[in-house]
Amino acid sequence: MEKTAVFPGSFDPFTIGHESIVRRALPLFDRIIIAVGQNVLKDSYFPLEKKMKWIRQVFQDEPKVEVTTYTGLTVDFCRSIKAGYLLRGLRTAADFEYERAIAQVNKALNPGIETVFLLTMPEHSSINSSIVRDIVRNGGDASPFVPKAINLKE
C-alpha cells in the first residue's frame, strides 16, 4: 500500500528547518503532503497563498511532494486523503511535550494514523518561524533561515 504522510503546520513562513525535515523524510514515504493549516485562533502573518506558493517553489523538482491547505482536525484531513502518517519535527524538550500531547490525542481520535517524528539537525534547532517573522517585521535579512527558492520580500 502507498505510504502517504501529511506534514501539517502553519509554516508562517516555511524555514530551512521545515525543508530539512521533509527532505529527510522522503525515503520513508511514497508521498508527502505539506498541509498549511488555517487555524481560526492563530492569525497568519504571511498570506496563505504566498506561503503555499513559496513551499511549491522549494519542491518544484520533487514529484513526491504536494502542497495543500486544510481546515478542521488534522486527523480528519488525513482520513479524507487516505494518509496513514503524520510527520512532525522535534527541536527541544518543549517541542517534545507539545508534540507528545497532540500525537497522543490524535491517536485517540484516529488509531489508524501514526505520527512519525524526526529530530532536527543540530544546526536547525534554534530556527523557528516566529523568529523569522520578527526579523522581517524589523527590516532584517531573514534569507539565511529560509530555503533559497523563497524570497520573503516577493
The residues of the shown chain that bind ligand ADP, judged by CB under 6 A, are 9-11, 15, 17-18, 21, 88-89, 91, 95, 120, 124, 127-129
Which phi and psi angles does 91 have, rounded to 5°? -105, -45
Closest CA to 65 of 140, 149, 153, 135: 149
The upper half-sphere exposure of residue 134, i.e. CA atoms within 13 Å in the direction of its Cβ, equals 5
Residue number with CB closer to ligand ADP (42 or 153): 42
- The answer to whether 19 touches 7, Cβ cutoff 8 Å, is no
Given the residues 18, 51, 88, 124, select the one marked as catalytic: 18
Residue number with CB closer to ligand ADP (1 or 42): 42
Respond yes or no: is residue 18 known to be catalytic: yes
- Residue nearest ligand ADP (C-beta atom): 17
Respond yes or no: is residue 44 known to be catalytic: no
Residue number with CB closer to ligand ADP (4 or 9): 9
Q: How far apart are CA 5 and CA 89, in angstroms?
A: 13
Please give the positions annotated as active site: 18, 42, 91, 129
